[in-house]
Every structure is written in structure tokens, then in C-alpha cells.
A = this chain, B = another copy of it.
Amino acid sequence: MTRPHISVITAAQNASQRLADRHTPFVMNDWYVAAFGEEIKDQLLARTLLGRRLVFYRASDGRVVALEDRCPHRSMPLSAGTLEQDTIVCGYHGLRFNTEGDCIEVPSQSTCPPNMGIRAYRTLERGAVVWIWMGEAEQADLTKLPAQDWMTDDQWERSQGHLSLQANYVRLHENLLDLTHLSFLHAKSFGTPDYAKAAFESVIGDGQFALLRNVVPTTLPPVWGIPTGLTGQGQAARIVRSEFRSLGLHEVSVTFYDCHLPEATRPQYRIRTAHMPTPETATSTHYFIVHGRDFAQNDAQTTRFMHDQLFVAFQEDVDGLALQEQALASTPAEDLYEFSVAADAPAVAMRRYVLGRQQKEAKA
């Protein structure tokens, strides 16, 4: 019976209008992960990114080609055609396109019509990941691609995976910026009860948003405890930085150490996770993940152990966010309102920033 007064609900709804949500159009002028490099071979791969159907392949010089997946003649998906010597032959009437999206052959006539072309996208392969600039290729802005040194550094041991999220990508960014949820959504995997109650610090900058949390002392869940050896009750420190680095990248950095050892000599164990959400549609997201650590190098068994445990937890996010999406989709507009708490400050700022980016792009 404690539904808030209508004036309070209206105020909350108005406040939410200033935040990006599932209704916000995508921001095209940025870098997103299109695929893991190992997915792109000398064959055609269809994938929808930001509501656009694309086709990918690896050219003979190794470059990743990304084209609009639609023949400009009669709209057949080019991914249903064939790849011949770095060109795509449409499977319908045989029109041939080069890596730039130019039509270079129309079998039923001797010349190609002018303008018979489709959009080609700028891609960039870095480490395990293929980034794509979803705006105009000429305007691809490398300064917008965050540095990810550990993702290519030999001192880091990595594993990777890909999940299909049936929810809008903004809510995944929001999820990652407030790890309070570790104690609840991940109660059975890598969360611990003390996590949600640990003191936190918000960092809110211009396009940079982070939440820092020091959980000290704490007891590590097996995924961290076993590989670090910090398995004792209340033995460990868990120092976490969860940071929105760009529309396509959220990075979680954690340092573990034995909080009973002197600071000068205690070993530190660092892990990093790159969470890379790429919108597919307004209600679905490609969720790419690279996880790394700077200890237990060349230990395949530990890599496998950690990877398996982590992906159980990431699947919990995927399941939870899908439930959230369903609730958002099926709640009548007049009944939908959300209130924020202190720990939401970075996420709210991030959502305001994303909406601002979209509005700026729409005006341009």
C-alpha cells in the first residue's frame, strides 16, 4: 500500500527521462567490439550490431572486412553469397563487391551502374578483439578507443568468452558500475555477503565513471581464493575498481593480497576483466568478455578453473538482466518508476552521459 504519491512517481519518471535507457537510440560514433579475431576467417560471418546487419570476413592480407549485409540491388543478405578472392558474390544475381563495398561486377551487363555500393566499416584488431567504428569510416576516431595494455601484454594470462544477453546494453553498463549486486545476484558464485556493505567511493568525470570498493578483510570465494592461495577466513583484501571506459568497454580491476602481512613485502595478485557490450538490437546485446591475471602464468589448469567459475557468474548477470528487461518491457508506462541510491551515482552519471552523447549525435 506504500506506492509513493503520484507527485513522487512523476518526479522519478521525469528524472529518468534524463538517463539513457532501452528507448535511447544507439550512439554510432564510437568503437564497439564486433567479434573476437578468431571468429573472423576466410568465410562470411553475419552479425547484427547496433541494429544494423553486417557481414564480416578476413581478407587475404589479414584485414577484417566489415560491410553492410545487404546487396544494394535487391536487398539479399550478402552473407548468403560466396566469398571469392576477397570479394563477395551476391547469391541472388551475382553482383560482386570488393572490400570497400563497391560493386565491381554485374553479370547480366558489361558495366556496373555508378553508385552501386554499400557501406564499409572501419575495423581495428587489437589483441583478441576486433573493434569496429559504427559511424562514418572517415570519421573513425582512434582517440576514443581506450588503451587496454594488459589485453596484449605477455605478462598477463588471459581467457575469453561471449554471451548473448537478452537486454539493452545500457543496463549491462549500469550493472557493472555497481558491484553491490555481487552479494545478491552472485551470492552462489563470486559474491560474498560483506561486499555490499563495504565502503565505496564514486569517481565521476567527463565520460569516465568508476566505483571503487575496498573489501578488507574478507574471505575470498574459491574462484580467487584457490588460485591465490588466500583461502583463510578473513585473510584477504579485495580492492576493486569498476570503471566505464567507453560505450564499448567496462573494465573491472581487482587486487588481492593477504591483509595480515606487512604492506612492504606482501605479494599482490591482480586480475582484470574487460566487459565489452555491443548492442545487437534495442533489447539484445553481444556480451564479449576478456579476463586476465598477472599471476600463475602458463598454468592452463588455473585458467580453465577460473574461466569456468567466472562464466557461471557472468551468466547470472545475463539471466538477471533478461528478467529486468522483461519487467521493463511489460510494465505499463504509468507504473514504471525507479529510485536511485547513493551507490548508483556513477551509473546515473554514466546514463546521463550516454543520453547526452546520443542527443549530440542526433543534432549533428
Contact = CB atoms under 8 A, between A and B. Distances in A.
A2 interface: yes
Given A75-B327, A328-B75, A108 B196 contact: yes
Please classify how large the interface on chain A is, using the bins under 10, 10 to 19, 20 to 34, 35 or more. 35 or more
Given A2-B118, A119-B3, A341-B113, A76 B324 contact: yes
A184 B320 contact: no
Contacts of A113: 339, 341
Interface of A: 1-5, 8, 48, 51-53, 68-70, 72-77, 80-81, 89-94, 100-102, 106-109, 113, 115-120, 122, 137-138, 171, 174, 178, 180-181, 183-185, 196-197, 200, 320, 323-324, 326-328, 330-332, 335-343
Nearest to A197: B107
Contact of A327 (B76, B81, B200): B76
Contacts of A52: 332, 335
Given A101-B2, A101-B3, A335-B52, A73 B341 contact: yes
Contacts of A68: 3, 335
Contact of A338 (B72, B108, B185, B341): B72
A21 to B, nearest CB: 10
Contacts of A93: 178, 180-181, 184-185, 196, 341, 343
B180 A339 contact: no
